[in-house]
Amino acid sequence: MTTDLPDDVMVPFAVHVDFESGALTPDPVILRRNHADLAGYFANESDAPGEDEMYAVHEIRVPATNNNLLSSTTVLQPGTVGGEYFMTKGHFHATRDRAEIYLTLSGQGLLVMALEDGTTETKEMRPGIVNYVPGHWAHRSVNTGDTPLVFYAVYIGDAGYDYATIAEQGFPVVVVEGEHGPEVVPNPRYTGR
Ligand code: M6P
Ligand code: ZN
């Protein structure tokens, strides 16, 4: 049997993931987001401590093409800004129909998802839970616990990031500290739909 291999066929590799710290070995590319990087994302930022790290994304780099799977661990610190729990920026995929899978490794949180028509879904994140994010759903993770929320995400290589829509419109709901724990409430600043 003859096979026509493409010129760019990749060599298999393995990476070790530390479930507690999210650290990848070897050789991760780490993207750090501090509080200042999230300026404008929280309703009340007066108590936001500038240069402190809010989360880090450790990426396993492969070509960002539709025949590859990109993946990363995210380590989201615990805390609140003006009553809202620390969270990721959140994004739609630039190629809207691209799906993503999250596997939570440690900590606890909520995965908030939204369609462009304002429909929302919120799912629990805790160790062992796999969350499936279908195409067209913006996604943001929120740390509602008091330890780092660590999860592994896998997505189609050409998904790309649309941060601008969320940066401009916000999510339809926000997660705030309530008397009896986290509450998912309508976002008064949401301008989408
Ligand atoms: C997950 C994935 C990544 C994303 C990261 C942080 O690991 O969805 O693609 O970069 O979370 O989220 P954001 O990019 O929205 O800040
Ligand atoms: Zn994504």
Give the residue from 58, 178, 173, 165 showing the smallest Cα distance to 123: 173
Contact in structure between 123 and 111 (CB atoms under 8 Å) = yes
Q: pLDDT tens track of the chain, all 193 residues?
A: 667 898 889 999 999 999 999 999 996 799 999 999 999 999 988 765 578 899 999 999 999 999 999 999 999 999 999 999 999 999 999 999 999 999 999 999 999 999 999 999 999 999 999 999 999 999 999 999 999 999 999 999 999 999 999 999 999 999 999 999 999 999 999 999 7
Q: Where are the alpha helices (DSSP H) in the chain?
A: 164-169
Write down how long the chain is.
Answer: 193
Q: How far apart are CA 83 and CA 30, in angstroms?
A: 28
Which atom of ligand 1 is nearest the CA belonging to 152?
Answer: 7
Which atom, in ligand 1's list, is nearest to the CA of 90?
15
Ligand that comes closest to the CA of residue 59 = 1
Read off the pTM: 0.95
Pocket test of ligand 1: the residue of 72, 102, 139 to mutate, having most ligand atoms within 8 Å of its CB, is 72
Closest C-alpha to 178, from 48, 85, 79? 85
Sign of the torsion angle spanned by Cα atoms 93, 94, 96, 100: negative
Cα dist from 97 to 72, 137, 168, whole Å: 20, 8, 21
CA 92 to ligand 2 center in whole angstroms: 7
Compute, in angstroms, the gap from residue 3 CA to the centroid of ligand 2.
34
Partners of 173 in the β-ladder: 186
Ligand 2 center from residue 180 Cα (angstroms): 30
Q: Provide residues with CB under 6 Å of ligand 1.
A: 57, 72, 74, 88-91, 100, 153
